[in-house]
Chain A
Amino acid sequence: MLTLFFIDLGRRIITFMYFCGGLANLTAQTVYLTLKPPYKYGHIIEQSNKAGYESFPIVSVVALFIGFIFALQSAYFMQRLGSEMYIASLVALAIVRELGPVITALVVAGRVGASHTAELGSMQVTEQIDALETLAANPVKYLVVPRFVSLSLMLPILTLYADIIGILGGYLICVLKLGITSSMYMHITFTALFYKDLFTGLFKSLIFGMIIALVSCYEGFNVEGGAEGVGKATMRSVVVTFLMIIAADCIFTALFYFIFP
């Protein structure tokens, strides 16, 4: 009984280490191949369209609702203090520093990351990736690099959209519902923000983009079995991406808190 427990524990630890090693290996290969010519602009544009342009509607809807919700929820307490004015700065700081990058990353992880895993997973199952290798085309260069580059460039841009739309959501609630004048709202919003707020948020979203691309491609490459394996890998990819995004967010927030007080 006890032996079984230890076998199970050991297997889990080894699997986890395999995962870490494989991910690190893929990361190193991807970064190296990204910097090494030739560059595949066509593929990057195609993936950017999928990751950025086509994610824009859902990201903007989610960001707008988050702006509404945040303004209303903070209004509940700020009205008791009689300082509805500062909802503007709360919304701006929360969205630009934290909610914008994280919510965008989670939405994109669910939408784009899952599709990458499923796509690469079915290619693996039908041995198309092996076929690529026999054609002397490096699958990492051909498949991972365009996804990596497009996600790490598109996620900060989507985050910018999410920031401005989230602030617009807070603006609509405050101006139409709580009776704060429009110019007052904009003034408080932009006096509350500093460059470091914007740039730490964008830096975090760049890291999140890299995490989504790498984890989803890694899981796609490592599919075993048939259709069932693809399903499992997709599920695992989304779960692992979410966990890693939140963990990275925690680490970077703490880091920035101590570096730029």
Chain B
Amino acid sequence: MIFGKTKLELKVGIFVFIGLVILVTFILSIGGFKTWSSGYRINVNFNFVNGVKVGAPVRFAGVDVGEVKRIKLEFVPGESRSNVCLVIWVRDIIKIPADSTVWVNTLGLLGEKYVEIIPGKDYANPVKENGAMAGIDPLPIHTIFNEAENIMRNLDEGLAQIRNKEGTLGKLIYDDKLYKELDAMVTDVRKNPWKLFFRTKEKK
């Protein structure tokens, strides 16, 4: 049996120890063990990344396997353009075929940006540590809107022509001449069905 001062020390010791265990649990749970599991880095080159941030998830075949560690913006003197290099970290067990397609995807229309990797076929030749890949540039959002606007404008023009009774479709909808003809024909065929089997002699 433990008495007096030692008992006091024991109580405080247990109390503090469990507190520290809780602290470590919190830290590990918040960090998600990611920092301790081993992985490798690869570089993916883009011309435009549409606002990807450091820490954005990386998905391989739709599964979260890593994150964006660094974003480097570098000038390429030879081609006189800027290159965006995303350094992404991927877990060790994931082998990325060299012919995979990499692009920046968006959750929803304006949601969070992430790096999507669609696996290729060439598993005999996976990307090595610090290896480079070329990414497919995402369309800037204004290009998408411009494209949509163009489509809408074309549609609108077409519809306006129809509404103005121009062209075949306009006449088909607003001109009842064809309808009357058809109606007359059907009535005629009902009345005289034998006409369908009758071969008119066309005069030449």
A interface residues, Cβ below 8 angstroms from B:
42, 45-46, 48-49, 52-53, 56, 153, 156-158, 160-161, 163-164, 190, 193-195, 198
- The reply to whether A163 and B26 contact each other, CB–CB distance below 8 Å, is yes
Of B4-12, B43-51, B122-130, B178-186, the stretch lying at the interface with chain A is B4-12
- The chain B residue with its CB closest to the CB of A54 is B11
Q: Which residues of the other chain, B, contact A195 by a CB distance below 8 angstroms?
A: 27, 30-31
Interface residues on B, range: 10 to 19
- The reply to whether B11 and A193 contact each other, CB–CB distance below 8 Å, is no
Q: A160-B19, A163-B26, A195-B31 are in contact. Are A42 and B5 (CB under 8 A)?
A: yes
- The reply to whether B30 and A53 contact each other, CB–CB distance below 8 Å, is no
- The reply to whether A160 and B12 contact each other, CB–CB distance below 8 Å, is no
- Please give 17 more A-B residue pairs, beta carbons under 8 A apart, in addition to A157-B15, A190-B29: A42-B5, A48-B12, A48-B15, A48-B16, A49-B8, A52-B15, A56-B15, A153-B16, A156-B19, A157-B20, A160-B22, A160-B23, A161-B18, A161-B19, A190-B30, A195-B30, A198-B26
Query: Secondary structure of the A side of the interface?
Result: helix
Query: 6 shortest A-B CB distances, which residue pairs?
Result: A157-B19, A190-B29, A160-B22, A53-B15, A48-B12, A53-B11
- The reply to whether B11 and A194 contact each other, CB–CB distance below 8 Å, is no
B78 within 8 A of A: no
Interface Cβ pair total, 8 Å cutoff: 51
Q: Could you show 17 A-B contacts with beta carbons less than 8 Å apart?
A: A45-B5, A45-B9, A48-B15, A49-B12, A52-B15, A160-B19, A160-B22, A161-B19, A164-B22, A164-B26, A190-B29, A190-B30, A190-B32, A193-B30, A195-B30, A195-B31, A198-B30
A198 to B23, CA, bound (A): 9
Q: Which residues of the other chain, B, contact A157 by a CB distance below 8 angstroms?
A: 15-16, 19-20
- The reply to whether A194 and B12 contact each other, CB–CB distance below 8 Å, is no
**CB < 8 Å: which of A46, A153, A161, A193 contacts B22?**
A161
Interchain nearest-CB distance for A193 vs B (Å):
5
- The chain A residue with its CB closest to the CB of B17 is A157
Q: Which of B15, B20, B27 has the most CB of A within 10 A?
A: B15
A194 to B20, CA, bound (A): 18
- The reply to whether B12 and A45 contact each other, CB–CB distance below 8 Å, is yes
Q: Which residues of the other chain, B, contact A46 by a CB distance below 8 angstroms?
A: 8
- The chain A residue with its CB closest to the CB of B7 is A49
A56 to B11, CA, bound (A): 12
Mask, B50-80, CB within 8 Å of A = 1, is: 0000000000000000000000000000000
Interchain nearest-CB distance for A67 vs B (Å):
15
A161 to B26, CA, bound (A): 11
- The reply to whether B16 and A194 contact each other, CB–CB distance below 8 Å, is no
Mask, B169-187, CB within 8 Å of A = 1, is: 0000000000000000000
